[in-house]
Amino acid sequence: MPIQICVPKEVRQHEQRVALVPDTVKRLATEELLINIQSGAGELVGYTDADYENATIVGDSGELLGKADITLMVNPATSEQIEQLKDGSVLIGYMDPHADLQRFNKLKNKNISAFSMELIPRISRAQSMDALSSQASIAGYKAVLLAANILGKFFPMLTTAAGTIRPSKVLVIGAGVAGLQAIATARRLGAIVEAYDVRAATREQVESLGAKFVDIGIKADGDGGYARELSEEEKQQQQEILAKHVAAADVIITTAAIPGRTSPRIISTEMVEGMRGGSVIVDIAAEDGGNCELTKAAETVLHQGVKIYGPVNVPSMVGNHASEMYSKNLLNFLELLIQDGAINIDLEDEIISGSLITHAGAIHHAGIEEQLSKGAS
């Protein structure tokens, strides 16, 4: 029997992405793999049902999910979608593994093998499957364009009949994948760029992109390439040194995040009040609390002349390329999961085991099992 791979239409409000694009479907579709796409799944990024010529188009979500051996999604499945999944099937997508943990009990009870794209290990062999990085890169790029749109100034230096216009100064906070892409994009637009990160290892990357690295004398490299949490004394030192750089910036892009935790608060209200009127902060950590004390998710806050914008689901704003990149991440993961025409959940494989949350009627992920045992919701 061929494996039925199904892609439902995303139901999250304002979501534009689709899990598989037509080019990826073309590469996947074989006698052993049958691809089913819900009608309209790709329309918000420009793909009509006719573009999915190598797939079967299914109108009803329940019918689609009920026959899926493997379901591919962008956003976490809703309770209704979980109920529609075929018992014993495979679910792959973003799972938001640190929130609404009771979803995983529902998946466990239906014997679903659920893989979280956020939990793909950060190892060399898994780079081509790393959806967090591919989508973060898009977020960093788009954040700069959002800032340029809000800012009432040019980014580059311009020589005009009215005189020379000085370039804008951009400060990027957090030099992970999103931050580095933000640096590169702001530089392409002609801005003078500074960047800050508590991880000393990022300095070389920042400087290689032509930005100045803001060194505050704290080294906080943590596990998995992320920063460790700062002590209260370190936080105070951080704010004191950063304040002058914040005050000098026309634009600040904040990208600092720690998986499973509230985003670190780096920019205080007092620091915002030290900025020039007309300056802009784009806080792409807004969904997890924000790096700025004044950030409100999905809103623009005006505080003493400074605009603080907290966009949500930023990769979806570049829906076409975000879908293309995510689709390739899924393709590479499927090539690992499907061996000789059969689904092979090899628990000895670091990538498979590391991203697997529920399997064989149990919670496989130790961290989530521990949280559930403590009564977390």
Mean per-residue pLDDT, 331-346: 97
pLDDT of 276 over the 90 cut: yes
Q: Which of 102, 127, 231, 304 is catalytic?
A: 127
Q: Which of 84, 113, 133, 205 is catalytic?
A: 133
Q: For residue range 345-369, what is the model confidence (pLDDT) as tens digits?
A: 999 999 999 999 999 999 999 999 9
Tally of helices (H runs) and strands (E runs) in the chain? 12, 19
From residue 82, give the alpha-carbon distance in Å to each of 109, 202, 358, 377. Answer: 10, 40, 13, 17
Q: For residue range 250-261, what is the model confidence (pLDDT) as tens digits?
A: 999 999 988 778
- How far is the C-alpha of 178 from the C-alpha of 305, rounded, in Å? 27
Q: Which of 188, 226, 228, 353 is catalytic?
A: 226
Domain 138-312: give its CATH superfamily: NAD(P)-binding Rossmann-like Domain (3.40.50.720)
pLDDT at residue 36, rounded to an integer: 98
pLDDT of 220 over the 90 cut: no
pLDDT at residue 208, rounded to an integer: 98
Local structure of residue 68 (DSSP, 8 states): -
For residues 302 and 31, the model is more confident at: 302
Q: Which of 69, 130, 250, 288 is catalytic?
A: 130
- How far is the C-alpha of 260 from the C-alpha of 258, rounded, in Å? 6
Radius of gyration of the chain (CA): 22
- How far is the C-alpha of 139 from the C-alpha of 145, rounded, in Å? 10
pLDDT at residue 222, rounded to an integer: 67
Among 260, 329, 313, 263, smallest CA distance to 291 is for 263
pLDDT at residue 236, rounded to an integer: 86
pLDDT at residue 199, rounded to an integer: 86
pLDDT of 143 over the 70 cut: yes
Helix, strand, coil percentages for the chain (3-state, nearest 5)? 40, 20, 40
pLDDT band at 377 (very low <50, low <70, confident <90, very high): low
Local structure of residue 303 (DSSP, 8 states): E
pLDDT at residue 214, rounded to an integer: 95
Mean per-residue pLDDT, 67-95: 97
pLDDT band at 23 (very low <50, low <70, confident <90, very high): very high
Task: Give residues with Cβ within 8 angstroms of 34, minimum separation 6.
Answer: 2, 3, 4, 5, 56
The answer to whether residues 352 and 125 touch, using CB atoms and an 8 Å cutoff, is: no
pLDDT band at 50 (very low <50, low <70, confident <90, very high): very high
pLDDT of 338 over the 80 cut: yes
Q: What is the pTM of this model?
A: 0.94
Q: Is the dihedral of CA 149, 214, 180, 119 positive or negative?
A: negative
Q: Is the dihedral of CA 168, 172, 173, 178 positive or negative?
A: positive
Q: For residue range 320-334, what is the model confidence (pLDDT) as tens digits?
A: 999 999 999 999 999
Q: For residue range 297-325, what is the model confidence (pLDDT) as tens digits?
A: 999 999 999 999 999 999 999 999 999 99
Domain 3-119+319-373: give its CATH superfamily: NAD(P)-binding Rossmann-like Domain (3.40.50.720)
323 is catalytic: no
pLDDT at residue 33, rounded to an integer: 97
Q: Give CATH 3.40.50.720 domain extents, the chain.
A: 3-119+319-373, 138-312
Q: What are the residue ranges of helices labelled H in the chain? A: 22-28, 61-66, 79-84, 102-109, 131-150, 177-188, 203-208, 232-248, 269-273, 319-337, 350-355, 366-373
- How far is the C-alpha of 97 from the C-alpha of 260, rounded, in Å? 8
Task: Report the DSSP beta bridge partners of residue 213.
Answer: 195
pLDDT band at 225 (very low <50, low <70, confident <90, very high): low
94 is catalytic: no
pLDDT of 100 over the 90 cut: no
130 is catalytic: yes
User: What does pLDDT average to over the chain?
Assistant: 95
226 is catalytic: yes
Q: Which of 12, 27, 122, 188 is catalytic?
A: 122
Among 361, 4, 285, 311, smallest CA distance to 149 is for 311
69 is catalytic: no
pLDDT of 376 over the 80 cut: no
pLDDT at residue 223, rounded to an integer: 65
